[in-house]
C-alpha cells in the first residue's frame, strides 16, 4: 500500500470512529436536541482532525440526526412529535405489508429465528424489574425481535425502507425508554405479537403492532409536553 492510500484508509477509519461516537452521544442524549456542534470542541472531545470530523457530520446529516446551515455550522437535529407521528404512520403502513409477506413466506428457519429473538427479549423482560429496565440491554433485544417478525418478507427494498424508518425513530425510542420506563403492557404486547405470528394470524398481528407503535408517540408527546 502506498502512503497516499494508507492515509486515505486512516482518514476513513477516523471518520467511521467519529460517526459512531457522535451518533451514540446524540442517541443517548449527551448531545442534546438543538445543541450547536462546535467543530473545535468536537475535535478535542473525540481526539480527531477536522477532515474526518466533517465527513462524520455529513453522514449524520444524511441520517437526519444533524442539520447543517450554510455558513452557520452544524446543530443536533431537534425533536418533533409531528415528525415522529409521520415516521410511525409510515412504519405502520409499510410494516403491515412486511408482516403480511413474512407470515406468508415464513418457514421453519424463520420460526426458529423468531422464537430465539422472542425468548431473548422475554428473558430480559422477566429477569429485570420491568419498571427499571436498562434501555441499553433491552433496546437491542427489542430491535432484533421486531426485525425477526418481518424478516421473512421477500422485498429487499421494503426491508431497506423500514430499516431507515426504524433508525429515525430510534432516537425518540431511546428518550422514551430513559424517561418513562418500560411497562408491563409492552411485555404483554410482545407476547401477543409472537403468538399471532406463530399462528399466522396476520390481522391480529398488524392490529397489535399498530397499537404498539402508537405507544411510542403517546410517550414522546407526554415527555415533550405537546
| pLDDT for res 110 | 97
- DSSP annotation string for 46-89: HT--HHHHHHHHHHHHHTTSEEEETTTEEEEPPP-HHHHHHHHH
| pLDDT for res 51 | 93
| Local confidence pLDDT in tens for the 226 residues of the chain | 333 334 444 556 899 999 999 998 998 888 999 999 999 999 999 999 999 999 999 999 998 899 998 778 999 999 899 999 999 999 999 999 999 999 999 999 999 999 999 999 999 888 766 556 676 788 889 889 999 999 999 999 999 999 889 888 888 887 776 655 556 678 899 999 999 999 999 999 999 999 999 988 988 888 887 5
Radius of gyration of the chain (CA): 20
Q: Distance between CA 67 and CA 79 in Å, rounded?
A: 12
Element (H, E) at 147: helix 135-149
CATH topology of domain 3-76: Arc Repressor Mutant, subunit A (1.10.10)
Domain boundaries, the chain: 3-76, 81-224
Q: In the structure grid, which three cell numbers stand for residue 38, read together?
A: 462546535
| pLDDT for res 149 | 96
Q: Distance between CA 192 and CA 186 in Å, rounded?
A: 10
| pLDDT for res 5 | 39
Q: In the structure grid, which three cell numbers stand for residue 174, read together?
A: 431511546
Give the 3-state secondary structure of residue 180.
helix
The beta-strand segments (E) located in the chain are: 36-37, 66-69, 73-76
| pLDDT for res 215 | 87
| pLDDT for res 4 | 38
| pLDDT for res 7 | 45
| pLDDT for res 2 | 39
Strands 66-69 and 36-37, sheet pairing: unpaired
Q: In the structure grid, which three cell numbers stand for residue 140, read together?
A: 437491542
Among residues 217, 204, 207, 137, the alpha carbon closest in space to that of 172 is found at 217
| pLDDT for res 136 | 73
| pLDDT for res 196 | 98
pTM of the predicted model as reported, rounded to 2 decimal places: 0.77
Architecture of the domain delimited by 81-224: Up-down Bundle (1.20)
Amino acid at each position: 500500500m502506498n502512503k497516499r492510500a494508507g492515509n486515505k484508509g486512516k482518514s476513513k477509519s477516523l471518520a467511521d470512529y467519529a460517526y459512531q461516537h457522535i451518533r451514540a452521544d446524540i442517541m443517548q442524549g449527551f448531545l442534546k436536541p438543538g445543541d450547536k456542534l462546535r467543530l473545535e470542541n468536537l475535535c478535542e472531545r473525540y481526539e480527531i482532525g477536522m477532515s474526518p470530523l466533517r465527513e462524520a457530520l455529513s453522514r449524520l446529516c444524511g441520517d437526519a440526526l444533524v442539520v447543517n446551515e450554510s455558513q452557520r455550522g452544524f446543530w443536533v437535529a431537534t425533536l418533533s412529535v409531528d415528525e415522529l407521528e409521520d415516521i410511525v404512520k409510515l412504519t405502520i403502513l409499510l410494516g403491515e405489508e412486511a408482516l403480511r409477506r413474512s407470515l406468508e413466506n415464513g418457514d421453519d428457519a424463520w420460526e426458529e429465528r423468531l422464537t430465539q429473538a422472542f425468548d431473548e427479549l422475554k428473558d430480559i423482560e422477566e429477569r429485570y424489574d420491568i419498571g427499571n429496565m436498562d434501555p441499553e440491554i433491552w433496546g437491542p433485544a427489542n430491535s432484533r425481535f421486531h426485525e425477526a417478525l418481518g424478516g421473512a418478507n421477500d422485498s429487499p427494498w421494503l426491508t431497506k425502507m423500514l430499516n431507515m424508518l426504524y433508525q429515525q425513530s430510534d432516537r425518540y425510542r431511546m428518550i422514551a425508554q430513559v424517561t418513562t420506563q418500560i411497562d408491563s403492557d409492552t411485555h404483554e404486547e410482545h407476547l401477543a405479537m409472537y403468538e399471532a405470528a406463530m399462528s399466522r394470524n396476520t390481522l391480529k398481528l398488524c392490529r397489535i403492532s399498530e397499537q404498539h407503535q402508537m405507544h411510542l408517540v403517546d410517550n414522546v408527546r407526554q415527555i415533550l409536553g405537546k
